[in-house]
């Protein structure tokens, strides 16, 4: 079993990566819980929730299934889950298990953070993308005016990555998850970046995939440990997310996957880094790789005004200045404050120059 430890100011927790580890959760828990609520979605429930329920010896294990997709990270579902938790008699000694992708992790984690002022929870990511979101304690729901605007920093007690779950992932989910690994490589590991650019998503072995996820996790953990509350360098993890988040919000959550939006965001980040910092980056390699692997890009000029408006209300904006993460070079990130006006003209240039369409 692969094992990584994350040190957090609230508590340290372990990430386990192993095939079929979903059958051994009770063994990995450090205490007994009065009851357990598994929160999962319509896609994942039918595949794995029974395995987990039956792995517990007692019968106070409940499952709540919510709709799959980003639109489920809403205030309504949040309240619904609280209602279910109360109805099932959960108390302060209960445990929540977040079984699913990033949406479930964020949503169930925020329910755990706020149920009776906070109870323990386990992250069980079932997508590649969630390797990223399940670590670091960021939990949230969306506000209609922006993504993840309502949330907390609230670390899980355990992250359990059953690599079985990756076998059944649709191609689009693999694509989505890879964008975050590419982001992590661009932030901190140019060798990893080269290795990523040398593979094709089709026909990737599970072994290779696990190795990429593991490498991405190491980068993420390092940044999270050094800056848990995102007052400094943890912000680097937002590379590609300024435009990425805005695109998701503008198009309606779920139209693009998170990773598809981040992929476009990464290209835009490169475009700005080249112009703002004179950076020299592997632009063509990345554009080609995205194209070859089926990433889509619906960005058009008429979206610009609204995208800038959304970005201005983003968590990453301080004093009306957009705190954009740029690269001086591969593995050399910096935070660059940008006026909205400048961002707008870069965005127009990015679309008109067609870099996003190549």
Show Cβ contacts of residue 69 under 8 Å, excluding neighbours closer than 6 positions.
41, 103, 253, 254
Of the listed 43, 73, 131, 180, which one is catalytic? 180
Binder among 40, 43, 297, 317 for a copy of itself (CB under 8 A): 317
156, 150 Cβ separation under 8 angstroms: no
117 scored as a contact of a copy of itself (CB under 8 A):
yes
259 is in an annotated binding site: no
284 scored as a contact of a copy of itself (CB under 8 A):
no
- Residue 288 CA to residue 284 CA, distance in Å, equals 6
Q: Tokens in use for 71?
A: 């639109």
**Is the CB of 45 or the CB of 141 nearer to a copy of itself?**
141
Which window, 49-57, 173-181, 272-280, 318-326, contacts a copy of itself (CB under 8 A)? 318-326
Query: Hey, what long-range contacts does 194-198 have (CB within 8 A, 24 or more apart)?
Result: 196/289, 197/282, 197/285, 197/286, 197/289
Q: Tokens in use for 64?
A: 């709540």
Of the listed 131, 234, 235, 250, which one is catalytic? 234
**Is the CB of 39 or the CB of 45 nearer to a copy of itself?**
39
Which window, 139-147, 215-223, 278-286, 347-355, contacts a copy of itself (CB under 8 A)? 139-147
Of the listed 173, 184, 230, 260, which one is catalytic? 230
339 scored as a contact of a copy of itself (CB under 8 A):
no
306 scored as a contact of a copy of itself (CB under 8 A):
no
Please state the closest distance from residue 110 (CB atom) to a copy of itself, in A.
8
Q: Please identify which residue in the block is written with the tokens 């896609």.
A: 43
146 scored as a contact of a copy of itself (CB under 8 A):
yes
155 scored as a contact of a copy of itself (CB under 8 A):
no
For residue 172, what is the DSSP state?
Answer: H
Q: Quick one: residue 240, left, alpha or beta (phi over 0 = left, psi -120 to 50 = alpha)?
A: left
Annotation marks residue 238 as catalytic: yes
Please state the closest distance from residue 261 (CB atom) to a copy of itself, in A.
20
- Print burial letters for 31-58: b (CB count within 10 Å at least 16), e (below 16): eebebbbbbbbebbbeebbeebeeeeee
Q: Please identify which residue in the block is written with the tokens 């990433």.
A: 295
Tell me the HSE value of 167 on the side-chain side, using a 13 A CA sphere.
Answer: 9
Could you tell me which residues are annotated as the binding site for Zn(2+)? Answer: 180, 241, 258
User: What does the binding site for a copy of itself look like in residue numbers (CB under 8 A)?
Assistant: 34, 75, 79, 82-83, 86-87, 89, 91-93, 113-118, 138, 140, 143, 145-146, 148-153, 229-230, 312-313, 315, 317-320
User: Any idea which residues carry the catalytic annotation?
Assistant: 117, 138, 180, 220, 230, 234, 238, 241, 245, 258
């Amino acid at each position: 079993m692969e094992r990584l430890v994350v040190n957090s100011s609230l508590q340290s927790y372990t990430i386990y990566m192993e095939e079929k580890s979903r059958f051994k959760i009770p063994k990995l828990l450090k205490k007994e819980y009065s009851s357990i609520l598994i929160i999962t979605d319509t896609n994942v429930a039918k595949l794995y929730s029974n395995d987990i329920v039956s792995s517990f010896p007692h019968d106070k294990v409940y499952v709540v299934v919510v709709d799959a997709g980003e639109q489920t990270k809403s205030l309504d579902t949040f309240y619904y889950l609280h209602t279910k938790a109360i109805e099932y008699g959960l108390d302060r000694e209960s445990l929540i298990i977040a079984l699913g992708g990033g949406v479930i992790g964020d949503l169930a984690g925020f329910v755990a953070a706020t149920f009776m002022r906070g109870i323990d929870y386990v992250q069980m990511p079932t997508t590649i993308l969630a390797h990223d979101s399940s670590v670091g304690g960021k939990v949230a729901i969306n506000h209609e005016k922006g993504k993840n605007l309502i949330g907390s920093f609230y670390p899980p007690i355990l992250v359990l990555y059953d690599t079985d779950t990756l076998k059944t992932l649709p191609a689009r989910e693999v694509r989505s998850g890879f964008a975050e690994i590419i982001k992590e490589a661009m932030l901190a590991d140019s060798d990893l970046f080269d290795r990523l650019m040398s593979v094709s998503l089709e026909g990737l072995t599970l072994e290779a995939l696990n190795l990429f996820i593991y490498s991405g996790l190491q980068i993420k953990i390092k940044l999270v440990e050094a800056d848990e509350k995102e007052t400094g360098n943890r912000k680097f993890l937002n590379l590609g997310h300024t435009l990425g988040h805005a695109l998701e919000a503008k198009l309606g959550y779920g139209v693009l996957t998170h990773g598809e939006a981040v992929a476009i965001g990464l290209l835009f980040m490169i475009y700005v880094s080249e112009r703002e910092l004179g950076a020299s980056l592997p632009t063509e390699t990345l554009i080609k790789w995205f194209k070859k692997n089926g990433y889509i890009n619906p960005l058009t000029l008429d979206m610009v005004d609204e995208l800038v408006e959304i970005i201005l209300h983003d968590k990453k904006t301080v004093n009306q200045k957009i705190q954009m993460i740029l690269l001086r070079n591969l593995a050399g990130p910096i935070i660059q404050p940008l006026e909205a006006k400048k961002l707008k003209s870069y965005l127009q240039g990015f679309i008109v120059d067609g870099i996003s369409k190549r």
